[in-house]
Structure 1
Amino acid sequence: MAALHSFSAAARHGGFSKAADEIGLTQSAVSRQIAHLEDWLGLPLFDRAGRRVALNAQGEAYAAAIAPALDVIRRATAKALAPRSDRTVNLATLPSFGMRWLAPRLPHLTSRHPDLLVNFAARTDEFDFAQEPFDAAIHFGRPDWPGAKHDLLFRERSIPVVAPQLIGGLKTPADLARLPLLTQSFRQDAWARWFDLAGVSPRPALRAGPSFAHFLMLAQAAAAGAGAALIPSFLIEPELASGALVQAFDLPMSGQEAYYLVYPADQSDNLGFAQLRDWIIEESREEAYRAAP
């Protein structure tokens, strides 16, 4: 590991001197560690010309190959060394869900458990809990997060919305096809499914508009008049209440996917997490009732 650590630092810095400064060894010690690694591998990783060294093609390939494994080891070690408390919970959440559903409800959690500290981080991708500093995550989709337990929170109701200035020309669902149809990046087929739900036949030619990674960006574009958008209603309650967005037709769309609280099995023994879990499930009941057909 010492040899790999020295080599990784030297590969990043392009030489032994700065690598030695980073890891707290002498330049000659770094040089010896890398020489040992080269002897063990049976191939040179650096080209040497006097005191000058340069990473060669074999070294570049090896550095790229071992970097992910070393990063996993660093993260796992940092997680193992971090002080643990059952009064602190680290939760990864989808950005829009965190901003519009979790954050406004935090005073309820604080009033119930004033000594519980919940740290939130925005994440959209699945990850391995063993390699990340999170106790739980908010997941949208099916209950298929590898190696995790799933608590169903609620399903969503996506509704077609437009800016107020666009609503006048919409008499039937088919009229929406005349507008640019804004989409969320991972739901490119949402409009096609909605027109099928609305019974529009034959399906009209759809005017593809821009796509957005996050629903709140999508909502802002729709409110500005950029086109029509399909957005989960619970994420745009402020815009609907203020009139910044108007529901075009009372035809909400739901699917088999849902929001889940996901977590490793051993989290059940953590009192702080158990309190957070109970609170989230309780808060989600109202949303689940509203989303029911």
Structure 2
Amino acid sequence: MARRLPPLNSLRAFEAAARHLSFTRAADELFVTQAAVSHQIKGLEDFLGVQLFIRKNRKLLLTDQGQEYWPKIRDIFEKLAAATEQLKAQGASGALNISVVPTFAIVWLVPRLTRFNALYPDIEVRLKATDREVDFFQDDIDVAIYYEKGDYAGMYSETLLNEFLTPMCSPALLDGEKPLTEPDDLRHHMLLHDATTYEWREWLKLAGVKGIDLRKGPVFSHSSMVMQAAIHGQGVALGHNVLAQPEIEAGRLMCPFDIVLPSDYKYDLVCPEEWAERPKIKAFRDWIMETVAQEQAMESLF
């Protein structure tokens, strides 16, 4: 048979009043009225069948029973607080399963994970590279980084990075026989494509270039492959600023024009709404958002 215990609120009121020897100060600490504290303690005394406080010369004092009871209740609350803090600390540890777009994982996230691992050595990052949306529950994923237009009904989401596109090529291509000084010069070069020609078509329209046959040129399944082809001088890629930034900084790619096409897609951090404040997820959220903000403040594509 379960033991009957006094209400937790009455114990909290008693512990605070005994520590302060004041109903008023206990009420201030607990954000309730003095009358509420008095009512809780009266209920506790009725439950226990003993008197816990007496008033003497306008002072609040503990009775003998109160003096015996208070240290035990204080110790219980201290242990409860310690256990809670320990559990919270454990929450920022263990496996953190992240679903992430493959190219973004390779080019952007993996090179920066050393910093996160140094800050949170008790969190074990596990990356799952995929282009599809995941089922967080069935796939055992804590948080995902999607490259989409950003409609996540019922989910928590934050935009990590917006994208724009502009032609990029190897510096060696600019030193070749065919000039690449204005957008119309692209008709004399091989254009490299990913899964669709839509973005090239939109950029050429924005630049006012007509008459280029977009059916020509090699097609690659991932943007990282397109970039590698451009780096090796195989043609001109319509590069994504997020993925191409390291190659531009290293001098392996150059942007011959300053015309940029805003992308309809962006990189978003997504997880179930009720998971967003879990310690290990929040640690990763805070770190990646701070990293993005710091880098955007320092760098420019051109």
CA-CA distance at 1:233 after TM superposition: 2.5
Name the amino acid aligned to 1:191: W
Of 104, 129, 136 in structure 1, the residue corresponding to residue 136 of structure 2 is 129
User: SS state of the match for residue 257, structure 1?
Assistant: strand
* Among 175, 189, 198, the residue aligned to 1:179: 189
Identity of aligned residues (%): 33
Alignment of 1:43-192 (within 5 A): 86-87=92-93, 88-145=95-152, 147-168=154-175, 169-185=179-195, 187-192=196-201
Structure 1 consecutive aligned stretches of length 4 or more whose deviation exceeds 6 Å: none
> Match of 2:193, as an amino acid?
T
Answer whether contact 2:245 2:301 (CA < 8 A) is retained.
Answer: no
Larger Rg: 2
Q: What is the deviation of 1:272?
A: 0.5
How far did residue 239 of structure 1 move?
Answer: 2.7
Alignment partners' CA distance in 2, 1:279 and 1:242 = 25
CA contact (8 A) 2:135 2:141 kept: no
Q: 1:216 to 1:182 in 2, by over 3 A?
A: same
- Answer yes or no: is the 8 Å Cα contact 1:94–1:139 preserved in 2: yes
Task: Give secondary structure in 2 for the equivalent of 1:177.
Answer: helix
The one-character-per-residue Cα deviations of 1:21-51 (angstroms, maximum 9, x if unpaired) are: xxxxxxxxxxxxxxxxxxxxxxxxxxxxxxx
* 1:60-105 Cα distance to aligned partner (Å, 9 max, x none): xxxxxxxxxxxxxxxxxxxxxxxx9652210011111111211122
Q: Which residue of 2 aligns with 1:248?
A: 256
Letter in 2 for 1:170: L
Unaligned stretches of 5+ residues in structure 2: 1-89
Question: Structure 1: which 5+ runs fail to align?
Answer: 1-83
Q: Please report the TM-score for the alignment, with normalisation by the length of structure 2.
A: 0.62
Give the aligned partner of residue 259 of structure 1. Answer: 267
State how far apart, in whole Å, the 2-side matches of 1:94 and 1:203 are: 34
Pick closer, same or farther for the CA change 1:287–1:143 going to 2, 3 Å. Answer: farther
Post-superposition shift, 1:262? 0.8
Distance 1:225 1:292 in 2: 20
Distance 2:123 2:294 in 1: 23
Letter of the aligned partner of 1:160 in structure 2? P
- Alpha-carbon spacing, 1:130–1:181, altered in 2? closer, same or farther (3 Å): same
Question: Quick check: 1:194 aligned with 2:200?
Answer: no
Contact 1:157/1:291, CA 8 A, preserved across alignment: no
Q: Which amino acid aligns with 1:214?
A: H
Does the residue aligned with 1:152 lie in a helix, a strand or coil? strand
C-alpha spacing 1:125/1:275, structure 2 compared with 1 (3 Å): same
